[in-house]
C-alpha cells in the first residue's frame, strides 16, 4: 500500500484544492485529512460519518475543593499561572505538567484525561475518508495526526485499497512531522511568491531530514513567471521533481464557493493540468 502526502510550507497555497481533485481522479484509495488544527477537506468531500471516537491528547489538573486546604503551594509553583486565587484550574492555561499534583501536600489534585478532539471514519462519493478535529487550545495535534493515519491504514487494509492520499497540515511543526513519517511521496504545493519559496525550502529540508521522497507542484505559476523559474531552478539543483504546474484560474475560487472539487468545476485547460499533475504523481509513486 502506498501513501501520498500533500503538504505546503505555508497555508493557502491550494493544497486541499489539489487533494480534492486527486480524490476524484485516484482509484482504490482512502482519503485522510491530517490538517487536524484546521481541517477543511470535508467541505469538498461532504462525508457521511459512519464511526467516530474521542481523542484524549493529554492531562489536565483538577483540584478537589473538599480536599484542598488552600495552602497556595500549587498557585506558587504553577509556571503557567493556570490556577486562580480561588483554587480553580483554568483548563485553557493548564499544560498538564503535573507539578501541582506532585506538590500538593493534601493530595487534593488529580490529573484527568483531557478530551482534546475527535476523529471520524466517513463515506464519500469519492471513497472512504478519515478526518479529525482538534479542540480549541488543545495540544498534541501530532498524536491526533497519528491516530488519523492509523485509522486510514486499517481502513485501507479492510477495504483492499492500495493508496492513502493524505491532506497534510501546513508549516513545519509537530503535525507535519507526524504526517511525513513513512509516506512514499510528499508532494509539496507552493506558489511563486517570496514567502512561498522561503517556506518551500524549509519543508523540503524537513522532508529530507526524514528521508522522504518529494516532488513539487507550482500553483498559480503564471502569476510570477520569474519566481516560478526560480522554483524550478531550485528543484533542479536539489534533485526534486516538479510534478506539475497549475495556472491561476478564477474557477478555483468558484469551485471552493460551490464546495466542489476543482476538477469537477474547471474548464478543459485547467482539468488537463490537474490530470497531468496526477499522472506525474502516480508515476513517481
Ligand atoms: S497545594 Fe493542594 S491544598 Fe494547597 S492550594 Fe493547591 S490544591 Fe489546595
Ligand atoms: S498541571 Fe502544571 S500547568 Fe496544570 S495547573 Fe498543575 S502545575 Fe499548572
pLDDT tens profile 157-191: 999 999 999 999 888 888 888 999 899 999 999 99
Distance 79 CA to ligand 2 centre (A): 7
Nearest CA to ligand 2 atom 2: 97
Distance 103 CA to ligand 1 centre (A): 8
Classify domain 2-46+125-284 at the CATH superfamily level: P-loop containing nucleotide triphosphate hydrolases (3.40.50.300)
In terms of Cα–Cα distance, which of 264, 273, 267, 229 is closest to 250?
267
Global pTM exceeds 0.95: no
Q: What is the CATH number of domain 58-115?
A: 3.30.70.20
Candidate of 65, 72, 94 to mutate for ligand 1, largest count of ligand atoms within 8 Å of Cβ: 72
Q: Report the atom number in ligand 2 closest to the C-alpha of 97.
A: 2
Q: Give percent of the chain above pLDDT 90.
A: 71
Extract the C-alpha cell encoding 113.
484525561
What is the pLDDT averaged over residues 202-219? 93
Each residue's pLDDT tens digit, 56-96: 888 999 999 999 999 999 999 999 999 999 999 999 899 99
Contacts with 258 (C-beta within 8 Å, 6 or more apart), sequence order: 265
Domain assignments of the chain as residue spans, ordered by start: 2-46+125-284, 58-115
Spatial separation of the C-alpha atoms in residues 10 and 27, rounded to whole Å: 28
Each residue's pLDDT tens digit, 117-138: 899 999 999 999 999 988 776 6
* pLDDT confidence of residue 253: 83
Cell 489539489 appears where? Answer: 18
Among all bound ligands, the one having the nearest atom to the CA of 67 is 1
Nearest CA to ligand 1 atom 2: 104
Q: Which residues line ligand 2 (CB under 6 A)?
A: 61, 78, 80, 82-83, 89, 94-100
Distance 68 CA to ligand 2 centre (A): 15
Q: How many Cα atoms within 13 Å fall on the side-chain side of residue 63?
A: 26
Confidence category of residue 140, pLDDT binned at 50, 70, 90: low
Candidate of 89, 110, 112 to mutate for ligand 2, largest count of ligand atoms within 8 Å of Cβ: 89
Q: Report the atom number in ligand 2 closest to the C-alpha of 61.
A: 1
Q: Report the atom number in ligand 1 closest to the C-alpha of 69.
A: 3
Distance 97 CA to ligand 1 centre (A): 16
* pLDDT confidence of residue 137: 67
What is the pLDDT averaged over residues 247-255? 84
Where do runs of H (alpha helix) occur along 141-263? 141-159, 174-180, 194-209, 225-237, 251-257
| Mean pLDDT score across all residues of the chain | 92
Among all bound ligands, the one having the nearest atom to the CA of 77 is 2
Each residue's pLDDT tens digit, 99-108: 999 999 999 9
Distance 71 CA to ligand 1 centre (A): 5
178 three-state secondary structure = helix
Distance 69 CA to ligand 1 centre (A): 6
Distance 89 CA to ligand 1 centre (A): 11
Q: Report the atom number in ligand 1 closest to the C-alpha of 107.
A: 2
Q: Give percent of the chain above pLDDT 70.
A: 99
Amino acid at each position: 500500500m502506498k501513501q501520498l502526502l500533500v503538504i505546503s510550507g505555508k497555508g493557502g497555497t491550494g493544497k486541499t484544492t489539489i487533494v480534492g481533485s486527486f480524490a476524484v481522479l485516484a482509484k482504490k484509495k482512502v482519503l485522510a485529512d491530517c490538517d487536524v488544527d484546521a481541517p477543511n477537506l470535508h467541505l469538498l468531500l461532504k462525508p457521511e460519518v459512519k464511526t467516530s471516537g474521542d481523542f484524549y491528547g493529554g492531562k489536565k489538573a483538577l483540584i478537589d475543593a473538599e480536599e484542598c486546604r488552600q495552602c497556595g503551594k500549587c498557585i506558587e509553583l504553577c509556571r503557567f499561572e493556570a490556577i486562580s486565587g480561588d483554587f480553580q484550574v483554568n483548563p485553557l492555561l493548564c499544560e498538564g505538567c503535573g507539578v501541582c499534583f506532585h506538590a500538593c501536600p493534601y493530595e487534593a489534585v488529580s490529573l484527568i484525561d483531557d478530551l482534546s478532539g475527535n476523529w471520524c471514519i466517513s463515506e464519500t462519493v469519492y471513497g472512504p475518508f478519515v478526518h479529525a478535529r482538534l479542540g480549541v487550545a488543545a495540544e498534541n495535534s501530532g498524536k491526533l495526526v497519528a491516530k488519523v493515519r492509523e485509522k486510514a491504514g486499517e481502513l485501507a487494509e479492510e477495504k483492499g485499497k492500495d493508496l492513502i492520499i493524505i491532506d497534510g497540515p501546513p508549516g513545519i511543526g509537530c503535525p507535519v512531522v507526524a504526517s511525513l513519517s513513512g509516506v512514499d511521496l510528499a508532494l509539496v504545493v507552493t506558489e511563486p511568491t517570496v514567502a512561498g519559496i522561503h517556506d518551500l525550502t524549509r519543508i523540503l529540508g524537513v522532508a529530507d531530514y526524514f528521508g522522504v521522497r518529494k516532488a513539487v507542484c507550482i500553483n498559480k505559476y503564471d502569476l510570477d513567471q520569474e519566481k516560478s523559474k526560480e522554483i524550478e531552478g531550485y528543484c533542479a539543483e536539489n534533485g526534486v521533481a516538479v510534478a506539475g504546474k497549475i495556472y491561476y484560474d478564477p474557477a478555483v475560487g468558484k469551485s471552493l464557493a460551490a464546495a466542489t472539487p476543482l476538477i469537477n468545476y474547471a474548464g478543459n485547460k485547467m482539468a488537463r493540468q490537474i490530470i497531468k499533475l496526477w499522472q506525474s504523481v502516480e508515476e513517481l509513486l
